[in-house]
Amino acid sequence: MRRSVFVGLSLLLLTGFSPPKPYQTQELKGEMTAFYSSIANILPLYLNPFRFYEAKNRPVVEKHLKSLHDHSVQVKSLLAKSDEEHRVLSVSLEESAALALKSYQRGNRGQTSYFMGEILDTCLSCHTSRESEKDSPFNIARNVNMEALDPFGRAKLLTVSRQFDEAMKEYEDLILKRNLILSDIIHFDPFLNYLVIGVRVKPDLNRVLKTLEQANKRPVPTSVKADIKVWIKSIQDIKGNKSLKQGDLLAQAQRLMDAGKNLMEYPRDQSGSIYYLEASRRLKDFINLKGTKAKDKATAYFLMGKAEMVLGRPFLGLEARRYFATTIDLAPKSNIAQQAFRLYEESVMFGYTGSSGLHLPEDEAERLEALRKKAY
**Residue 360 placed within a domain:** no
- With b for 16 or more beta-carbon neighbours within 10 A and e for fewer, the 6-30 pattern comes to bbbbbbbbbbbbebeeeeeeeebee
**Residue 202 placed within a domain:** yes
Q: How far is CA 224 from CA 189, 192, 309, in A?
A: 10, 10, 20
3-state secondary structure of 269: coil
**Residue 3 placed within a domain:** yes
Q: How confident is the model at residue 135 (pLDDT cuts 50, 70, 90)?
A: low
Q: Which domain holds residue 197?
A: 137-221
Q: How confident is the model at residue 3 (pLDDT cuts 50, 70, 90)?
A: very low
**Residue 113 placed within a domain:** yes
**107, 127, 147 — which closes off a domain?**
127
Which range, 69-83, 137-151, 279-293, 340-354, has the best average confidence (pLDDT)? 279-293
CA nearest 71: which of 108, 116, 39, 113? 39
**200, 221, 242 — which closes off a domain?**
221
User: What's the CA gap between 66 and 54, in Å, rounded?
Assistant: 18
3-state secondary structure of 133: coil
Q: Is residue 322 within 8 Å of 307, Cβ to Cβ?
A: no
User: What's the CA gap between 156 and 196, in Å, rounded?
Assistant: 12
Number of compact structural domains in the chain: 2
**Residue 53 placed within a domain:** yes
Strand 353-354 and strand 357-358: pairing?
antiparallel
- With b for 16 or more beta-carbon neighbours within 10 A and e for fewer, the 347-374 pattern comes to bbeeeeeeeeeeeeeeebeebbeebeeb
Residue 138: pLDDT above 60? no
**Residue 272 placed within a domain:** no
157 and 206 assigned to the same domain: yes
123 and 144 assigned to the same domain: no
In order, the DSSP letters of 285-332 are: HHHTSTT--HHHHHHHHHHHHHHHHHHT-TTHHHHHHHHHHHHHHHST
pTM for the model: 0.76
78 and 146 assigned to the same domain: no
117 and 142 assigned to the same domain: no
39 and 115 assigned to the same domain: yes
1 and 122 assigned to the same domain: yes
The backbone torsions φ and ψ at residue 258, rounded to the nearest 5 degrees and listed phi first, read -65, -40
**105, 127, 149 — which closes off a domain?**
127
3 and 107 assigned to the same domain: yes
